[in-house]
Each structure stands twice: as C-alpha cells, then as structure tokens.
Amino acid sequence: MLKLIVQRLLALVPLLFIVSVLTFSFTSLLPSDPVDLIIGDAGTQQQYEMVRERLGLNEPVHLRYLQWLGRAVQGDLGSSFFNSVSVMGAVMQRLPVTLSLTAMSALIAILIGVAAGVAAALRPRSWVDRFATLGATFGQAVPNFWFGLILVAIFAVNLRWFPATGFTPLTESPWEWLRSVILPSIALGTSSSAAIARQVRSAMVGVLQQDYIRAARAQGLPFRRVIFRHALTNALVPVVAVLSFQITVLLGGALIVEQVFAINGLGTLAIAAVRQQDIPMLQGLVLVMVGLVVTVQLATDILYGLLNPKARPS
Amino acid sequence: MRTLIRSSILSLALGAGLGLATVAQAEPSGTFKYAEQVKLITMDPQQQSGSGVPYLRPVYESLFEKAADGTAVPLLATGYEIDGLNVTIPLREGVSFSNGEAFNAEVAAANINRGVKLGIIEGLKTVESAEAADEYTLRITLKEPDPAIIDSLCYTGGMMLAPAAMADPTIDRNPVGTGPYVHSKDQSREGEVQVYTPNPTYWDKDMIGLARYEVWEIPDDTARLNALKTGQIDAGNWLANPQAAIIDRTAGLKLIRNTGGLNYHVIISDREGTMVPAFADRNVRLAMAHAIDRAAFGKAVLFGLSEDSYQPYAKGNWAYNPDLEGVYAYDLDKAKEYMAKSAFPDGFSFDMPSIPVYQSRLEALAGFFKEIGITMNIAPVEPGTLARRSRTTDFPATNLVWNTNTDPKFLALRYIYEDANYNPFKVKPSEELLALAEAGLESVENSVRGPIYQKMAAKLADEAFLIFVANSPILIGASEKTDANPTVVYRYGEDSINLRGLKAND
C-alpha cells in the first residue's frame, strides 16, 4: 500500500508540470487582456503599455513560465495581477469551503444512492424499484444549478428554513455551517446519488443471487445482517470506483453551484480568475484542483484495496 | 477662467448637512448589509478603474462630495477657489486618519500627486501637481483649464489615504482613511464579505450610526435577489436585468432609481468613411438614428427599466437639453427617406464588436437597421476588451455606455477631439463642435456651462455620429424596511449609500 502511495505521489510531479505548462500556454493564447480591466475604459495606450511592462506581460511566454515555475517550486505561487492577495492564501482560504460542499454532497449522494439502490435491488421490478429508477433518471437529467434554484425558492425564500446564499465556516458555528451547506449539497449531490443508486442496484442484484448469500439465509442469519454485512459489503466494491469518479464530478459541479448560492469557494475564485485572465490565480487553482483529484483517486484506490484484498498491489 | 470663491462657513454647513436627516446620534448600534454586484478588486481608490466604490466609501472620504442636487460641496475641504490654472482648497482642521496620522495639506498633496502619477483616474489627468500652501491649504496646479476638477475630487480622485497606507504595498486590502468606519480584516472574509466597524478617531462621531457595516460580494444577480428577498441583505445594486425587474414588481421590495445612469449608445467611429464609405454620409447616420425603436428596445432588452435616450445627459442633469427629447423618434418612413437621399440607397454592411452582455442589444439594433437595408454583422470580441478594441481602427463603429453623471468635458475627451480616446480614425471635429467643447471649459459655473453643453448635445445630434439609444438608471434594490429607513440616503449618481448618519433598519 505504501508503494502505491509513493508511486502516485511521484506520478503527481510530471502531471502537475504538464498541467501547468498547458494552463499557462492556453491562457496566454487568449486574445483578452487583464490590463484592459486594470486600466479601465478611460485608460490610454501609454498606461496600457506601462501596466503590461509592470506585470511582465511583454516577456516571451516561455520566459514568463520559467520565472513562475522557479518561484512555484519554492512554494511561492505569486500574487494576483489585480491586487496583493497571494494565490496560495486565496486558494487555501477557499479550499475548506469547496471541500465542505463536496464532502457533504458526497455524503448525501452516498446515503441516498445506497439506500435507493438497496431498496430497488431487494424488490426488483416492484414499484419501489421503478420509483428508484425513475428518481435516478430524474436526478441525473436535472441540471444541478436549476435544482439549486428550485431548492432556494422553496426552502430559503418561501419557507425560510435555510439561508439563500453564503457560507458559514464550521469553526464559526457548526449549526449555521450545516444550514449553509445543506441546500447546495443536495443540489450538487443529487445527480451523483442517482449514479450511485444505479450502480448499487445493479451490484446488489448480482450479489443477492450468489450462493453464499443463499447459504447465509439458509443458516438463519437475520435478514439485515445478510444484507448489510454480507451482500452490501461486496456490492460496494464496484461502487467505490464510481464514487471516485463522482467525487471528481462533484468538485467540478461545485464550481457552478457556488455561483447559485453565492458561496465563496474555489469555483467563485476560478470564475473570477478566468474572467479577469488572472493567470497566476488560474495557475494556482488548476494545480490545487489537479492535486485534489489525484488525492481522491489515491484515496479511492486505498479504499478499494481495503474492501477487495484481491485488488491490493503486491 | 473666472475666479470663484466659496465661503468656508457656507461650505462647512453644507458639508455637515449634506442631504441628511442628521440628528445627534446615540451609541452606534445594529448592522446594515449591502450587496455589491462586482467583486472587490482593490481598496486603493487611486487604482480603482471601474465599479466597486461601495467597498471604499466606508473608509475613505473625499475632499468634496455631491449634495442631493448634484452640486459639489466640501467634505474634507472647507471650500475652494479657482483662478485660472490654480486651484486653492482650504482643508478641514482636526481630522485624523484611523491610524492616528494627521490629515493636512501635505498629506492631501501627496495623495493628489500619487493619483496623478498612477494615471488611472480620468478626473486627475488635467492635474500637473499639488502642493501644500500652508498646513491646511492645498494648492493644485492644472495643465489646462478644468472646470470639472472639483467634481472629480468628489469621487476616487479626491479620496484621501493615510501616508502609511500610501507606502503600504498591500493597501489594496488594508485601507486607511478618515471615514466613519474602519475596515476589519479579521471579521471580513476575502471574496465574500467586507466588514467595517466604527472609526474611534472619526472627526464627526455623531454621524456614526452603525456598530457594523457589511458589503457582501454577490455577483450572481439571482443569488443577490434571493439574499434580498430573505433579508440576508438590506440593499444592493443591480443593472437593468430580469432580476431588477422582479424586484420592481415584488411586494415588500423596492427598486430605487437613483440619479444618473448608463447611457447605451452607438458610436460611428469611421465617420469619414475610411473603412465603410457610407458612414461619411450624414443621411445614413440619421437614417440609423431614426430606425431604432427605442421604446421596443427598452421593453425587450432592458426589461422596461430604461428611458429612451437621444443625448448624453439624463433628465435633471444641468447639461440636459429638453429640446432634444424625441429628436430621433422612431420613424421608419423617415429613416427610409434618409437612406433614399443618401449615396447608399441600396444599403451596405459593417461589423460591430460585441461582448456577451451587449449581445441582445446588438441583435435588436441589427433588426432595426435591417429594416433600412443596413446589415450589421455582430462580431464577438473577448469580454473585457471592448473598450480597447473600440480605441483601435479594428471596427468602423462600436457600442458603449456613457455614465450620465460624468462631466460633459469628458464627452469631448472621449469622442470629439481629434485625439479623443474613442476617435481611432482621428477625425477632425467640425469647427462648431470644437468651439462648443472649448467654450465649455471657460467657466466653472454650471449655469454658464449648461447652455453651452446643451448646444453641444444638439450639434452632436445633428451630426449623428453618436447615436444614443437607452439610459438605464442606477438601480438599487432595497427591502421594505430599508425603503422606510429615513437615514438611508443614496449618493447622487452612485450605486452606494451615504454612510454618514446611516442607522440600521431595526
């Protein structure tokens, strides 16, 4: 297992390098220019040239990249083009927000997905199964931002049960934190719960037909124990693989849902950085997102190995 | 330029009483929450190039500010005197910055000189330099006569930063001014909310009514609307969009139409016909102006929140010319007549740059122009680049907005002079237009300048290279409680609330 972790961490280095080169190159190819925003509509050509010079934008792209890389390997991702906010500081401040949202969404997706999948698998072709299948189809088809708007209209604007916008840090008030993440997490987690439900149902139907399940039931083991201890544990093995993908999807989806709920996470930061062509901020964000995805995949591999001894690396 | 002297005593009285229902205040209490549609970029007013002034106003005070009728009245200044290229400004004594540093003429001069050096603020571009005449008298030397200099000092150009803040490379997040509130970095959350608390050293303590003022960064219009509906914010600013229209018709909410606004217009840059010969023909330009159904445009594109526009200034502005109302009234027959009279009766085509926010506007205009045989090809440009592209000869025409509260002298600087920012084809203005633009600089009195600029607007309408379409007022959405709060005073021509004397709703 340790070897797997070391291998993955080593693989992260070239991956981050390639991603940083691509991000830097693609951003530099865009025709828009952050200097336009800095000097405003009243700016003159002279000011434009002055600010470009100050930001080092007149240097060739490869030189700018090498300068950035030189600082980045020392842990300095620089600061925004637009102010003195450090990239690392801005990203680290927002990371817990997006992680909160993603983690709660994943939890909701697992709870709903597993429950619906098991219920459907226990009574195939029953109304429960059909309802779960219909729900899964709906969940996957509905865009999460639209669903988020509906949730806000009902539960925030009309019923006033939850705040319509904003995020309260967990350290400030656990109760308010929960209230602030519940609606966006439902909006975000619904489509993943649908995907998980489908996978759980399919895996459970297969597992429930296995001999060892029949044997367990024949031995008179309690129904719940058979289902949750023996069947579900085995059915979850393929689900873990789906979960890894779904968490990556949730991270991406959080970028949009954050806008709907005015949550100041990595998504909001990313959208502002793209709009402003704030290259240092974009670079930092992309690196962190890649790091996150790789970490999730690594965690999934470890979990996969724990659930399925055959899958453990020799 | 005539010399104008303002009485210090009168100025002091005006400054203190600026459009506010001011009464001696009890201890500051309560919170007021305002939502801003643009993200905070910088808290350095001298590097502020666009929106976002609501983040600055709690901390920074300017030398002058606008009274309810739009006239400039002293705030940190106590009066002013303009004599040719010399502007003398006596300053308020006994004022200190929130970090304890004293406010005096030397500091004020350093502020103005820094703003000039940075070169971002349009209103300071006529300033040569500033110096302290004595401890509390600031002297500004102009490069050229500028009747709008005091007006410019009402905004970011006149905001005063503490000396230590000016030397601080992180000033964009550590503002230090003389204002009624101080920025609380500890309580603020970067990118989400900026928190301000009372300034213990404020020179006019009775004007501090709040224990806490918050500016929330909510760029998404629907999220901001939901925050207003649920009471998470007390007020916020909007552009003319569907969400603002919803506020306008939602019980319990109020859409305030503040003075001034954004005047959307088409600019025929190539009016000598270098790229598009038809644009040299005045009949063509007049045909285009008459072909626009402004009422339909306002209803369909700006959700009924705009006013038809035929000139740069909005009703109520001292430069507004009432005679121009309806000068280009929608008249398709007239437009076709003009086209028939022109050298291009069969029409022509041209490219118009577009950014996403203007796409629907341009689609509407393209439809109107199609009716008279003109094909306008909408050419998308990268968001954020429209202004720069409009300053180049890439396009024969462009489309922008003009802030109707901007002094008319800037109209000449942007569009009229041969070297104007948005005159990329370097077209020489007509003698009459140039004479009017110059005459407008010869007095500081709006009563004298008003008629001149009214004539200039009429001449612009006649030459028809600036075709004004619709003016969207500054829109502020407020809760019912905010609307009923007598201490809420919206700043003239701004999308912010005057914080001096503001109390919480409850």
* From A139-148, B74-83, B326-335, the region with the lowest mean pLDDT: A139-148
Could you tell me the CA-to-CA distances from B478 to A166, A218, B484 in Å, in that order?
19, 69, 10
User: What is the number of alpha carbons within 13 Å of residue B118 lying toward its C-beta?
Assistant: 23
| Rounded-to-integer distance, Cα B490 and Cα B472, Å | 17
The span from the CA of B43 to the CA of B242, in Å, is: 30
**How many Å from the N-terminal Cα to the C-terminal Cα in chain B?**
50
Q: Which residue has the tokens 């806000």?
A: A152
pLDDT the model gives residue A293: 87
Closest CA to A95 of A300, A268, A214, A219: A268
Identity of the residue in A40, A44, A47 whose CB atom sits nearest the CB atom of B50: A40
User: How far apart are alpha carbons A255 and A251 in whole angstroms?
Assistant: 7
Cβ atoms of residues B151 and B72 within 8 Å:
yes
Minimal-distance CA residue of chain A relative to B413: A42
Which H/E stretch holds residue B350?
Answer: strand B348-354
What pLDDT was estimated at residue B48?
80
Q: How many other CB atoms are there within 10 angstroms of residue B140's CB atom?
A: 28
Q: pLDDT value at position B94? A: 95
Cβ-based neighbour number of residue A140 at 10 Å: 15
Average pLDDT over residues A119-148: 89
Best mutation target, A97, A151, A165, A271, to test chain B (most B CBs within 10 A): A165
Considering only A228-232, B293-297, B431-435, which range has the smallest mean pLDDT?
A228-232
Phi, psi for B469 (deg, rounded to 5): -120, -60
Q: Is B277 left (phi over 0), alpha (psi -120 to 50) or beta?
A: alpha
**pLDDT-derived band of residue A312, with 50, 70 and 90 as boundaries?**
low
Query: A82 contacts in B (CB within 8 Å)?
Result: 41-42
Answer whether B381's CB lies under 8 Å from B353's CB.
yes
Flag if A157 and B224 touch (Cβ within 8 Å): no
Report CB contact under 8 Å: A262, B218: yes
CA distance to A120, A245, B382, per residue, from A241 (Å) = 20, 7, 40
- With a cut of 90, say whether residue B30 has pLDDT above it: yes
ipTM for the whole predicted complex goes beyond 0.90: no
Contact status of A50 with chain B (Cβ, < 8 Å): yes
Rounded Cα gap, residues A222 and B448, in angstroms: 96
At B365 the pLDDT is 98
Pick from A32, A84, A149: CB nearest B222: A149
| Terminal Cα-to-Cα distance of chain A (whole angstroms) | 8
Check pLDDT > 60 for residue B15: no
Residue that has been written with the tokens 């083991």 in this structure: A221
Q: How many other CB atoms are found less than 10 A from the CB of residue A47? A: 18
pLDDT, position A241: 79
The per-residue pLDDT for range B380-427, each reduced to its tens digit, is 987 777 888 899 999 999 999 999 988 999 999 999 999 998 999 999
Checking if the pLDDT of B376 tops 90, the result is: yes
pLDDT at B25: 52
Whether the predicted pLDDT of B19 surpasses 50: no
The answer for residues whose C-beta is within 8 angstroms of residue A313's C-beta and 6 or more apart is A1, A3, A4, A305
Q: Does A33 contact B216 at a Cβ distance shorter than 8 Å?
A: no
> Which residue in B172, B173, B191 is closest to A94 by CB distance?
B191
Could you tell me the pTM of the whole model?
0.85
Q: What is the DSSP letter of A89?
A: H
Tens-place pLDDT, residues A169-226: 999 899 999 999 999 999 999 989 999 999 999 999 998 888 988 898 888 888 888 8
Q: Name residues 72-101 of chain A within 8 A of B (Cβ).
A: 82-85, 89-90, 93-94
Chain B residue closest in CA terms to A146? B222
pLDDT score of A251: 86
**Alpha helices (H) along B53-201:** 105-118, 149-152, 163-166
Residue B10: predicted pLDDT: 42
Contact criterion met (CB < 8 Å) for A42 and B49: yes
pLDDT, greater one: B429 or A78: B429
- Residue A9 tokens read as 């961490």
Contact B220, A259 (CB under 8 A): yes
More confident residue, A257 or B7: A257
CA distance B400 to B110: 34
pLDDT in tens, B177-213: 999 999 999 999 888 999 999 999 999 999 999 999 9
Nearest to B336 by CA among B294, B363, B368: B368
User: In this model, does residue B105 exceed pLDDT 90?
Assistant: yes
Q: Order of strands, edge to edge, in the sheet holding B127-134? A: B4-5, B81-83, B86-90, B137-142, B127-134
- How many Cβ pairs closer than 8 A exist between chain A and B? 124
Q: Find chain B residues with C-beta within 8 A of A47's C-beta.
A: 119-120
**Exposed (0-12), middle (13-18) or buried (19+): which is B403, by Cβ within 10 Å?**
middle
Chain A residue closest in CA terms to B171 = A84
Distance, CA of A170 to CA of A264 (rounded, Å): 14
What's the pLDDT band for A42 if we cut at 50, 70, 90? Answer: low
DSSP states of B409-473: HHHIIIIISTT-TT-TT-PPPPHHHHHHHHHTTS-S-HHHHHHHHHHHHHHHHHHTSEEEEEEEE
**Which pairing describes strands B212-217 and B193-198: parallel, antiparallel, or unpaired?**
antiparallel
Give which of A41, A51, A92, A146 to mutate to test B binding, by max B Cβ within 10 Å: A41
* Phi/psi of residue B378, nearest 5 degrees: -85, 120
Closest CA to A39 of B59, B387, B232, B366: B387
Q: What is the mean pLDDT of residues A4-25?
A: 84
Q: Fill in the amino acid letter for A137.
A: T
What integer best gives the mean pLDDT of chain A?
87
Q: Chain B closest CA to A62's CA: distance in Å?
A: 23
Tell which wins on pLDDT, A27 or A120: A120
Mean predicted confidence (pLDDT) in B466-486 = 96
State pLDDT tens for residues A57-95. Answer: 888 888 989 998 898 888 888 889 888 889 999 999 999
- Candidates B170, B220, B224; nearest CB to A84: B170
Which A residues in the span 245-304 are in contact with B, Cβ-Cβ below 8 Å? Answer: 259-262, 264, 268-269, 272, 275-277
| Residues B120-157 pLDDT 10s | 888 898 999 999 999 999 999 999 999 999 999 999 99
pLDDT classification of A311: cutoffs 50, 70, 90: low
pLDDT confidence of residue B269: 97
Q: Under a CB-based contact definition with an 8 Å cutoff, are residues B211 and B192 in contact?
A: no
Q: Chain B within 8 Å of A37 (Cβ-Cβ)?
A: yes
Distances (CA, A) of A66 to A24, A28, A87, A289, B68: 10, 14, 17, 21, 55
Question: What average pLDDT does range B310-318 have in this prediction?
Answer: 91
Buried residues in B337-359 as b, exposed as e (16+ CB within 10 A): bbbeebebeebbebbbbbbeebe
Suggest the residue from B192, B247, B411, B421 to mutate for an interface test with chain A (most A CBs closer than 10 A).
B192
Q: How confident is the model at residue B340 (pLDDT cuts 50, 70, 90)?
A: very high
Q: What is the DSSP string of B238-262?
A: E-SSHHHHHHHTSTTEEEEEEEEEE
Tell me, what DSSP letter sits at residue B167?
A: T
